[in-house]
Amino acid sequence: MSSILTSAPPSPSLVSFGSSRASSPFHSNELEQPAGQADIELEAKGTKHSQYYFKRWGNCGLLEVLYSVHRYFFERDSAHFRSILESVQGADAKNAIVLPDVSCSDFDEFLAILYPTDFRHPTAKTTAQWTSILHLAAKWGFESIRLLAIDNLTTTAIPVDKIVLGRRYGISDWLPGAYEAVCTRADPLTVEEGMKLGVEDIIRISAARQAYGCAKARYETKHLSGDLGDIFKLEKPELSVGSTDIEENAINILEDQVVAVQAEFAAFPTPVKRTCSPYGGQGYDCATSNSIHYNRNPCAGCRAPPVEPDERRLKREDKEDKERQLKDLREKRDVKQRDLVDKQERMSLFR
């Protein structure tokens, strides 16, 4: 058993602000130091880990949390730890091994492989969890655990993550298929993916997509000029404050006016039809006549529209004008709403 003390941020995540072509951790020259060499008072500062602190065995710890685990696994599977443990005297907290560049969360994930809680049904892990395990296995030379992490990431990691991890940990078998998948997919790279990959890979992937005709247009070019400000976070001209509210208020006011004028118009009596010439005010007209001749050839009186009083005509024209204005305003509002939804869909590609 050995004591290990950890204190560090989590392992390098899949996010990289530089290039995905980072040097592999296999070339790391960092060595963990016994606690005494780091001048750390473990008993004063170290908190015993709730799960990975086995009694009656030696100690191993991190700066903030003290672990007590079996040194057998570390000596058996890691030449890195074998060289460290050779110089460790005793198995108490004062002789704990300090892991200054290892976080508790990463170390917990790693120990969960050495100490599974269910041998028949291993706990399912996310890409981030397997990445933590891969990071420490590669860092310390646990080859079998490294291969286990690679096997699981092969089936769960997305192509962009395979590019990042493949470059970082020397997993060359992943790279051809992952690059091809990214270059030939329909969707462009997102901002988050670009942050992971780094500038060099972004430029090469973009060039490959354009050169091999993989980057097919999804939207019409006419939208580009209006979207540039949102895509590249450019300063936009100030819009009139509350323009949408003004339009909605105008629609509401006009709706009330239309309802009122429709009610006023409905109060007018229906216009009286002109007198039918052949029957001269006898209550008949050409349309109801039994005469085939008048049925097919109505007189001028029947053809003429009903006589409409000027007051009713003016009210009708006012009603139709307001209805037309309301229809136009509603159509403009609906077009703006559809354009906004379409733009939000386009902008989702650049998040």
Q: What percent of the chain has pLDDT over 70?
A: 69
Specify the pTM. 0.62
User: What's the rounded Cα separation, in Å, for the pair 101 and 14?
Assistant: 17
pLDDT over 60 at 67, yes or no: yes
The arithmetic mean of pLDDT across residues 238-256, rounded, is 81
* Residue 207: strand, helix, or coil: helix
pLDDT value at residue 31: 37
pLDDT value at residue 9: 55
User: What's the rounded Cα separation, in Å, for the pair 344 and 351?
Assistant: 11
If you search the block for the tokens 């703006």, which residue do you land on? 336
Counted residue by residue, the chain has a size of 351
Choice among 90-99, 166-175, 242-251, 272-281 with the minimum mean pLDDT: 272-281
User: What's the rounded Cα separation, in Å, for the pair 151 and 134?
Assistant: 10
The arithmetic mean of pLDDT across residues 197-203, rounded, is 95
pLDDT value at residue 224: 86
The arithmetic mean of pLDDT across residues 310-329, rounded, is 94
Mean pLDDT, the chain, rounded, equals 79
The arithmetic mean of pLDDT across residues 277-284, rounded, is 55
Asked if 179 and 212 touch (Cβ cutoff 8 Å), the reply is: no
User: What's the rounded Cα separation, in Å, for the pair 337 and 342?
Assistant: 9
pLDDT value at residue 60: 52
Asked if 2 and 96 touch (Cβ cutoff 8 Å), the reply is: yes
* Per-domain boundaries in the chain: 47-217, 243-270+308-348
Smallest Cα–Cα separation from 60: which of 31, 90, 39?
Answer: 90
Distance of CA 18 to the CA centre of its chain: 22
User: What's the rounded Cα separation, in Å, for the pair 3 and 43?
Assistant: 12
DSSP3 helix / strand / coil % (the chain, rounded to 5): 55, 10, 35
pLDDT value at residue 86: 86
Cβ-based neighbour number of residue 21 at 10 Å: 14
The arithmetic mean of pLDDT across residues 297-322, rounded, is 82
Q: 72 pLDDT band (50/70/90 cuts)?
A: confident
Q: 230 pLDDT band (50/70/90 cuts)?
A: confident
Residue 182 CA: distances (Å) to CA of 22, 186, 253, 289, 309: 19, 9, 53, 80, 73
Structure tokens, 169: 């940990």
pLDDT over 90 at 10, yes or no: no
Smallest Cα–Cα separation from 46: which of 33, 63, 68, 70?
Answer: 63
If you search the block for the tokens 């005709």, which residue do you land on? 213
User: What's the rounded Cα separation, in Å, for the pair 160 and 187?
Assistant: 13
pLDDT digits (tens, 9 = 90+) for 39-52: 444 444 556 655 55
Q: 292 pLDDT band (50/70/90 cuts)?
A: low
* Residue 236: strand, helix, or coil: coil
pLDDT value at residue 126: 96
> Which amino acid is located at 272 in the chain?
V
pLDDT value at residue 245: 83
Structural Rg of the chain based on CA atoms: 40
pLDDT over 50 at 57, yes or no: no
**Residue 56 CA neighbour count, 13 Å, CB half:** 0
Cβ-based neighbour number of residue 309 at 10 Å: 12
Of 19 and 17, more confident: 19
pLDDT over 80 at 30, yes or no: no
pLDDT value at residue 216: 78
Superfamily for the 47-217 domain = Potassium Channel Kv1.1; Chain A (3.30.710.10)
The arithmetic mean of pLDDT across residues 295-302, rounded, is 63
